[in-house]
Amino acid sequence: MSADDPLAGASVAILHDRFPGIGGGEIFALEAARALDAPIYTTYVYPETDLPDDVRVIPIRNDKYARGLSRHLLAWKNEGLNPLETLNVAIDLTDAHPELTEYDVVLESAPLSKYYVPTTDQTVGDRMEALDYPLVGFLAKLYAKGWRALDKEANDYVDTFVANSELVRDRVRRYYDRDAEVVYPPVTGDWRSEGDDGYFVTWSRLAPEKRIPMIVEAFAGLDERLVVAGDGEQREKIERLAAGHGNVEVRGYVEGVESLVARATAVVYAPKQEDFGLVGAEALSAGKPLLGVNEGFTRYQVQEGVTGLRFEPTVESIRETVRAFDPDDFDAEEIQDVAERYSAETFESDLRDVVRDALEE
């Protein structure tokens, strides 16, 4: 790094709203911290969250959220559906931590992080992942409208937006009339292709928005084998659907899922309006064709005839796509070449460029 580089000598911190566990958002924050050699500030780290030793994570309100009576009142539920917890995190982030004012750059890596109020000489980048709160019902709609009003005001403090896909970049333009730089989250792990043992595979957290039951139901009417990996609230439902169908195997959580994918024929993925889709990126990194739903960012990950095939979110469409799929039409090395955009090296380079450009501006 040259002396003329704006990053030379600049101090950088990551601000991630909370660590209720390790999911896609938390992985992004950890990888950003590694790429920028920066600490992570957060409101709290929930008990039993397994943090890596090579990243410094600083919880600023841990006693409030992870201990005592308030822990039960402010528990993380259903991915942010506890409005009391959400409101408290946002309020606490407006005050944040005195140490944060000492950094030249603050990269906000989660939706609520934008409520941090920076000093006048700080550069703030906000990583946009999703714009809507998963709330339903009349009272929830009022709650969401209030949040959107606060959301737009908070965005005035942001110097640069960073989107995790072109899909989210377009949402930023639509809702906020601001542009955003696209930096794909990195794929980590030993993703590889080791042949074809004649089974399709799908894996993820077994939650409703991943639509694994629809995939299982589709394969229950086919002869092709399907292996389902992962755990979550819908596991019992998925096991009931698979019962009596010898071609569908539900394995639960699989340690080292890369080895399972390495011997698969293809990956099937059908999430609802995924804003990025790490499973799709991991499948391509393994050189496996992706049979993906024709919505969200998944439709952009699937280049028809090159990286996979698309289907509509119905059981019959999945069946038709699996029947039409021929693994001989796809080349693992060509798929992996496309997946280079998701490499850790590309992520580090792109993220550092965004911070560098923000400093220059």
| Beta-strand runs (E) in 116-233 | 123-128, 160-163, 180-182, 199-203, 225-229
- In a shared domain, residues 24 and 85: yes
- Contact call for residues 324 and 293 (beta carbons, < 8 A): no
Report the sign of the C-alpha dihedral through residues 56, 184, 114, 89, in that order.
Answer: negative
- In a shared domain, residues 108 and 243: no
- In a shared domain, residues 324 and 350: no
Cβ contacts of residue 227 below 8 Å, gap of 6+? 199, 200, 201, 202, 249, 251, 260, 264
- In a shared domain, residues 284 and 219: yes
Buried b / exposed e along 291-308 (16+ C-beta atoms within 10 A) = bbbbbbbbbebbbeeebb
Number of structural domains the chain divides into: 2
**The pLDDT of residue 157:** 63
CA distances from 90 to 33, 61, 82, 152, 299 (A): 22, 12, 13, 14, 33
Helix%, strand%, coil% for the chain, nearest 5: 45, 15, 40
**The pLDDT of residue 136:** 37
- In a shared domain, residues 34 and 164: yes
105: which DSSP letter? Answer: E
- In a shared domain, residues 307 and 166: no
Which of these, 83, 116, 84, lies nearest to 101 by C-alpha position?
116
- In a shared domain, residues 55 and 128: yes
- Residue 348 has φ and ψ, to the nearest 5°, of -60, -45
User: Can you give the residue range of the structural domain that contains 41?
Assistant: 12-186+343-360
Whole-structure pTM value: 0.81
**The pLDDT of residue 305:** 94
CATH code at position 117 = 3.40.50.2000
- Contact call for residues 119 and 98 (beta carbons, < 8 A): no
- 3-state DSSP assignment of residue 91: helix
- In a shared domain, residues 33 and 122: yes
| Domain assignment present for 191 | no
Q: In the chain, what percentage of residues exceed pLDDT 90? A: 52
| Domain assignment present for 275 | yes
Which of these, 357, 361, 356, 346, lies nearest to 9 by C-alpha position?
356
CA distances from 268 to 67, 76, 171, 309, 353 (A): 40, 30, 26, 10, 34
**The pLDDT of residue 138:** 40
| Domain assignment present for 114 | yes
Q: Which residues of the chain fall below pLDDT 50?
A: 131-145, 147
- In a shared domain, residues 152 and 250: no
**The pLDDT of residue 63:** 87
| Domain assignment present for 294 | yes
| Domain assignment present for 247 | yes
239's tokens: 């096991």
- In a shared domain, residues 68 and 151: yes
Q: What is the rounded CA–CA span in Å between residue 174 and residue 193?
A: 39
| Domain assignment present for 192 | no
User: How does pLDDT run across 329-352, given as a tens digit for each residue?
Assistant: 999 999 999 999 999 999 999 999
- In a shared domain, residues 177 and 295: no
| Domain assignment present for 5 | no
- In a shared domain, residues 329 and 349: no
Which of these, 234, 210, 214, 237, lies nearest to 226 by C-alpha position?
214
Q: What is the rounded CA–CA span in Å between residue 310 and residue 289?
A: 11
- Contact call for residues 185 and 276 (beta carbons, < 8 A): yes
**The pLDDT of residue 112:** 78
| Domain assignment present for 1 | no
294's tokens: 């024709």
